[in-house]
Amino acid sequence: MVRIPAGNPQPARSLMLTSLRTCERDRAVHLSRAIPNSSNASSAVETTSPIQKYEAHGYSVLDVAVTADNARFASVGGDRLVFLWDVEQGGTVRRWSGHNARVEAVQFAGDGDSVVVSGSADTTINVWDTRSNSHKPIQTLAEAGDTVSSLHVHMGTYSIASGSYDGRARVYDVRMGRTTVDMLAHPVTSIRCSADGNVLLVSTLDGRIRMLDRSDGKLLKAFGNDDSLKQSSAGIQPKPLYRNSELRIRSVFAQGDAVVLSGSESEKEDRGAEASVFAWDVLSGEVLATVPAGKGVKVVSCVAWNEKGRCWAGGCSDGSVKIYR
C-alpha cells in the first residue's frame, strides 16, 4: 500500500491513476507520485508531498480527466467552469464557462483527445473543441431531467455514457446520432463502459451497482446490499456491508473487466465505523475482498484502476489517497 496525503484534510473527489491526480475541496488539483521509483515494487512507501499543485478554480474541484499522453488534463467544479491544463507548464490553456450550475463530470474524447465533454447540475452535457478559441460548446445535450453526475466516453463505439440524478443512464451514439435510455428508478452516481463497450456499470443511491447489457438494457448482474453477504469462493465471510445511499461514489471495472471495484459509505449510526473498498467477481457476483480504508474514514468516494501497473487507488473523506498493489 502506498499512502499519499493530499496536503489539506479535504475529501478526494476524483482520481486518475497514472501519476496520481486528485481533485479536492481545497479548490486545487494535486499531482503526486503514485508508484515509487524502487526496484522492490512490493514494498510500501509513503510520499509526503505532491509533485505539483494546480490552482485556478474558485470552488471545490469535482472531477478530473487526463489525456492519453498525460500532457494535459481537464478539471471541473463548483464554480461552473471547465479548465484545460498543461501538466508541464502548470497553467490553464483553455477556460470554458457555458454551464449554469456546478460541473460534476468531465471526460476527453475525439482524435488525439481534442474534445472535452462536461456534465453539469444544470442538466446539460457540453462538448468543447480544444483546438478552437471559441468559448462556446460545439454541442449541448439536454435530455437529462436532473444533475448529470457521471460521464464515460468509449472511443471504440463513438459513444458518450452519462448518468443522472433523474435515475436514467443514457448512451449517446455520436456516429449514428442515436440515444438509448435505461431507467433505474434511483439517482445514478457513477457510470462506466466495459472495454468492448457492450456493458454498462451503473451505481445508484439504493446501494446497488448494476451491470447492464448496452444493446437492450438487460440486467446482467447486480452487486451490493444482500450480495455483500455472499460467501466468497475462499470461504471468507466479509464483515463490512456495502453502503451507498447519500453521496456520489465512483465504481470501475478492473483486471480486464473481470472485477468490479467501488468505494462505500460507513454506517452512520456507528461512530467507530470505517468505510471500505469492495471488489466483486463479475461472473459470480461474489465479494472477492473488502479493504478497510482506515480509522476515521467515513467515505471512500472514488476508486481508480491502472491496468498496466496492476494497482488501484481509493480517495478518502479524510483527504488521503491509498494505493494498493
Q: Give the residue from 19, 40, 14 showing the smallest Cα distance to 308.
A: 19
Q: Answer yes or no: is 207 within a domain.
A: no
Q: Answer yes or no: is 178 within a domain.
A: no
- Which residues contact residue 246 at a Cβ distance below 8 angstroms, ignoring those fewer than 6 apart? 205, 265
Residue 26 reports pLDDT greater than 80: no
Q: Answer yes or no: is 125 within a domain.
A: no
- Which residues contact residue 285 at a Cβ distance below 8 angstroms, ignoring those fewer than 6 apart? 221, 222, 223, 227, 230
- pLDDT for residue 229: 47
| Residue 322: how many other CB atoms lie within 10 Å | 20
Distance CA 37, CA 39 (A): 7
Q: Give the residue from 202, 185, 299 showing the smallest Cα distance to 251.
A: 202
Q: Answer yes or no: is 104 within a domain.
A: no
Q: What DSSP assignment string belongs to 46-81?
A: B--S-SEEEE--SS-EEEEEE-TTSSEEEEEETTS-
Q: Answer yes or no: is 19 within a domain.
A: yes
Task: Tell me the percentage of the chain whose pLDDT exceeds 90.
Answer: 68
Number of domains in the chain: 1
Residue 5 reports pLDDT greater than 60: no
The C-alpha cell of 194 is what?
466495459
pLDDT confidence band for 24 (50 / 70 / 90): low
Distance CA 18, CA 250 (A): 17
Q: What are the beta bridge partners of residue 126?
A: 118, 140
SS3 content of the chain, % helix, strand, coil (to 5): 5, 50, 50
- pLDDT for residue 154: 97
Domain span at 267? 1-46+224-325
pTM of the model: 0.86
- pLDDT for residue 314: 86
Task: Tell me the percentage of the chain whose pLDDT exceeds 70.
Answer: 82
In this prediction, residues 117-130 reach a mean pLDDT of 98
Average pLDDT score, the chain = 86
- pLDDT for residue 33: 72
pLDDT confidence band for 34 (50 / 70 / 90): low
pLDDT confidence band for 45 (50 / 70 / 90): very low
Among 8-12, 95-99, 268-272, 294-298, name the one with the lowest average pLDDT: 8-12
**Which one is predicted more confidently, 250 or 45?**
250
Angular region, 203: left φ>0, alpha ψ -120 to 50, beta rest: beta
Q: Answer yes or no: is 300 within a domain.
A: yes
Q: Answer yes or no: is 12 within a domain.
A: yes
Cβ-contact 189, 163 below 8 angstroms: yes
Distance CA 53, CA 28 (A): 7
Note the pLDDT tens digit of each residue in 195-240: 999 999 999 999 999 999 999 999 999 999 755 444 444 555 546 7
- pLDDT for residue 158: 94
**Which one is predicted more confidently, 229 or 178?**
178
Q: Give the residue from 5, 22, 70, 75 showing the smallest Cα distance to 304.
A: 22
In this prediction, residues 128-142 reach a mean pLDDT of 96
Cβ-contact 143, 170 below 8 angstroms: yes
pLDDT confidence band for 3 (50 / 70 / 90): very low
Q: Answer yes or no: is 42 within a domain.
A: yes
- pLDDT for residue 235: 52
Helices and strands: H and E segment counts in the chain: 0, 28
Among 28-42, 154-168, 276-290, name the one with the lowest average pLDDT: 28-42
In this prediction, residues 84-104 reach a mean pLDDT of 96
